[in-house]
Structure 1
Amino acid sequence: MSDALELDALWEDFHRVVNMTSAELAAWLRVRDADERTEPLPDRAGSDTGRQVLAILQKRRTDLTKDDLRVMAQVVDTVTAETDVENEPVAEDTERRHRLMTLGHDPLKA
């Protein structure tokens, strides 16, 4: 990030598109990876990006790393591209909803 204004904008954009709380995301990542016989350890549940989003949600802005900033920008770009006005999510599109939820965005959440 080149300056504080860009960091502020990214922070705001990230928290706008990530509409799940850290508790909701942590629970989702555990459920998503669980199967009939096993459940992953909480710190190993979900995709790498999902775990990174969860870690970012638990940080203060001043504690962000360059890798955090890269992940935040990637999440903002992905969620924005997948939730544009022409591509409005619907309840029946569970695969897409679940993919977005792994990034901390529940498209059905108000």
Structure 2
Amino acid sequence: MTRGNPDIEQTWDVFHRVVNMPSPELRDWLLSTPDGADAYAPEPGIDIHELGERVLRILEKRRVDLTDDDVATMRLVTELVVGRLTNKPDDGEINGPWRDTLLTLGHDPLRPDSPRGADAEALLQALTPTTAT
């Protein structure tokens, strides 16, 4: 991966703000959930558990070791997490499939550092590649 690429640097920073679970905690969560738990998949056709495993592998990498696939995964995960955060269910439903999906992607929405509302949307805006003029 190219060192110093501002778009990749931005993606790395936003991804690590969105993924607020440390890798040991995410690993424990993934081991406790069934493989291919499609019951709470954010979109049809996405294997959420496999995506969570890719997040775990990225968390264990250094920025300079990222592949193009890693960068694409970081962008996808950020979009999925932010999409869920901006569409939060009623409080009575917070500990159901909505939270399970986020946990599988490495984000615990009950933590104080979880972005909310406009803060979550701003993270997604930060992923928009800058264009040279």
Choose which of 28, 34, 49 in structure 2 pairs with 1:47. Answer: 49
Identity of aligned residues (%): 43
Q: Using a 3 Å threshold, how does the CA distance of structure 1 residues 91 and 56 change in structure 2: closer, same or farther?
A: farther
Q: Which string of whole-angstrom CA distances, capped at 9 and with x for unpartnered residues, describes residues 50-98 of structure 1?
A: 11000000000000011101100000111111112xx345463221000
Q: Are 2:58 and 1:56 aligned?
A: yes
For structure 1, which runs of at least 5 residues remain unmatched after alignment? 35-45
**Whole-Å separation in 2 of the counterparts to 1:74 and 1:5:** 18
Count of residue pairs brought into register by the alignment: 97
The equivalent of 1:11 in structure 2 is: 12
The equivalent of 1:106 in structure 2 is: 108
**Whole-Å separation in 1 of the counterparts to 2:56 and 2:88:** 25
- Report the TM-score, using the length of structure 1 for normalisation: 0.79
**Whole-Å separation in 1 of the counterparts to 2:88 and 2:83:** 11
The equivalent of 1:29 in structure 2 is: 30
**Whole-Å separation in 2 of the counterparts to 1:27 and 1:95:** 18
The equivalent of 1:83 in structure 2 is: 85
Say what the alpha-carbon RMSD is for the aligned residues. Answer: 2.1
Q: Are 2:55 and 1:72 aligned?
A: no
Amino acid at match of 1:105: H
Amino acid at match of 2:101: R
- Cα distance, 1:47 vs. partner? 1.6
**Whole-Å separation in 2 of the counterparts to 1:65 and 1:104:** 19
Matched-pair contact (CA < 8 Å) for 1:91–1:108: no
Amino acid at match of 1:95: P
